Structure 1
């Protein structure tokens, strides 16, 4: 288990890969962001400035969180988050993209005897069918992390 003291400013942690499917894009969008360029592939192909159906930015953020849970958080004494700053969706995410993430520890602050706050820059990348990789999402997470118990 990694604790607050095990995180160092400047450390970079990379995780992936998450394969995005059209079915998942449509299902998420129908429930949470039912705009036509997320829910109607035929119309999106014909009329969208994106050239096809794309994932909602909120879906991209949720998939990023999945990658964080499966990678970065699986062995970290995380206690939840206080929020997210500077959320940006840089490029659309398409069916067939494979997402990966990079977390950089920006700074750390001791909050209490048993908890610290880590500011993490999370960046999500999409590997396209063409083989190109593009930045698609980024944010700064304010994560509470348990401090190492005294023995």
Structure 2
């Protein structure tokens, strides 16, 4: 989507994508090797009663869904960061997740007329329509 196509209040959807045990383990071993992400036997007896995926894997998959559904052909070039990020429920092997991104605001920078700014709320749901992650992101667009 181009910057001009974003509208305040619009909701961008990406359908369910699977989260496999193998990708959870591979991601965690490389980037977040905490025992509840990588040690299946120990995780069975832990707080979560089983292996859970890294929240960073969930965020990475959400980013991919945002690119696939909105940013892939846009003028987006950067983000100054997130305002908030909450992991509400764990994602488990065999779950599927989907993205709903709601555009909260859209504007052209007051100091740079070639810079578009979109603030949007991303909600990631599992296959049971339970909210697992919520975050507020800002994306910047090159309007040259």
TM more than 0.5 = yes
| 1:15 and 1:72 in contact (8 A); partners too | no
Does residue 134 in structure 1 map to residue 130 in structure 2? yes
Q: Which residue pairs with 1:13 in the alignment?
A: 12
Q: Which residue pairs with 1:3 in the alignment?
A: 2
Does residue 90 in structure 1 map to residue 88 in structure 2? yes
TM-score w.r.t. the length of structure 1 is: 0.88
Does residue 115 in structure 1 map to residue 115 in structure 2? yes
How many corresponding residue pairs? 142
| Deviation >4 Å, runs of 4+ | none
Q: Which residue pairs with 1:99 in the alignment?
A: 97
Once residues 55 and 98 of structure 1 are traced to their aligned partners in structure 2, the CA distance between those partners, rounded to angstroms, is 12
Q: Which residue pairs with 2:29 in the alignment?
A: 30
Moved more, 57-66 or 67-76: 67-76
Where in structure 2 are there 5+ consecutive unaligned residues? none
TM-score w.r.t. the length of structure 2 is: 0.92
